[in-house]
Amino acid sequence: MTPDLTPFDIAAASALLFLGAGLSLVLSLHVGRGLLVAGARMVVQLVVLATLLGLIFAAANVWVTLGAMAAMAVFAGFEVLARQDAPAGRRWTVAVGAGVMIGAGWVVVLPALALLIEARPWYAPQVALPVFGMVAGSSMTGIALALDTFSTAIRRDVRIVEARLLAGHTRGEALSDPVRQAIRTGLMPTINAMSAIGLVTIPGMMTGQILAGADVMQAAKYQMVLMFLIAGTSVLGVVGAVHAMARRMTDHRHRLRLDRLRTGE
């Protein structure tokens, strides 16, 4: 079981941050202010998160849990937007990022909560929100990477895409190479995470369970389930988002519409 941490314990740990800031001053690294501000943000954000989670856990209501998941997906949508060099419209990118995460996340996570993890009730926020958060966070990285790769590829290969359209190919055929490239790139973080897991670090959920006193093998099994959920959500989310963007970047007359990209914003 994890012991209760007192404010003194946290203050003692934060001394390491001040040590880092001091070193920055001595070595003229100019990162001391950044370290302290990031540390302060981390404390405030975690306190706010814990307070909100406390309220949601106390409510233990299915709609509150689903609403919290949707809110997490919307924040992830903004994060996807922030990682685009040339988004296909700001609102559109946030909507698609959040939409595919809600869609793919719910399709994968909700049945897993009910049937595999056997949370009681299935929407128990103590289980549902951390699992959804880990799944959405990992999928978000893949979706952001995939959309950015797609917009880069169609701008770079615009003449090839248009040559295929001029040869009478449909927009799906003309964009097949950029779509494939974007999906492959978007799934690389998930593939790499599964390949390297356990070699360098003990993964997050497993670490949490071990610290909470769970059996190590049981913790490993939960980690496996989580990674399969992440992989499933990433595949559905990346494929859905890239195909949505392929539709967005063309019109009903099978024309490439680069004018819909927002560059330099």
Binding site for another protein (CB under 8 A): 159-160, 162-170, 177, 251-255, 257
CB of 47 to another protein, least distance (A): 52
CA distance 72 to 41: 18
CB of 165 to another protein, least distance (A): 7
What angle in degrees, to the nearest 10, is found between the helix axes of 62-82 and 125-156?
30
Which CB atom, from 14 or from 176, has the smaller least distance to another protein? 176
- Tokens representing 15? 């001394």
- Neighbouring CB atoms inside 10 A of 258's CB total 16
Which CB atom, from 167 or from 200, has the smaller least distance to another protein? 167
With CA atoms as reference, report the closest residue to 138 among 100, 189, 67: 189
Which CB atom, from 30 or from 253, has the smaller least distance to another protein? 253
Task: Please state the φ and ψ torsions of residue 262, each to the nearest 5 degrees.
Answer: -100, 105
Which CB atom, from 17 or from 258, has the smaller least distance to another protein? 258
CA distance 235 to 224: 17
Which CB atom, from 254 or from 262, has the smaller least distance to another protein? 254
Which CB atom, from 83 or from 247, has the smaller least distance to another protein? 247
CB of 153 to another protein, least distance (A): 13
Listing DSSP states for 156-194 in one string gives HTHHHHHHHHHTT--HHHHTHHHHHHHHHHHHHHHHHHH
- CB-based burial, 224-245: b 16+ in 10 Å, e otherwise: eebbebbbbbbbbbbbbbbbbb
CB of 255 to another protein, least distance (A): 6
- Tokens representing 121? 């009730």
Q: Is residue 256 helix, strand or coil?
A: strand
CB of 200 to another protein, least distance (A): 41
- Tokens representing 238? 């990346």
- Neighbouring CB atoms inside 10 A of 17's CB total 17
CB of 166 to another protein, least distance (A): 5
Which CB atom, from 109 or from 246, has the smaller least distance to another protein? 246
For residues 238 and 183, the answer to whether their CB atoms sit within 8 Å is yes
Which CB atom, from 14 or from 152, has the smaller least distance to another protein? 152
For residues 229 and 112, the answer to whether their CB atoms sit within 8 Å is yes
CB of 172 to another protein, least distance (A): 10
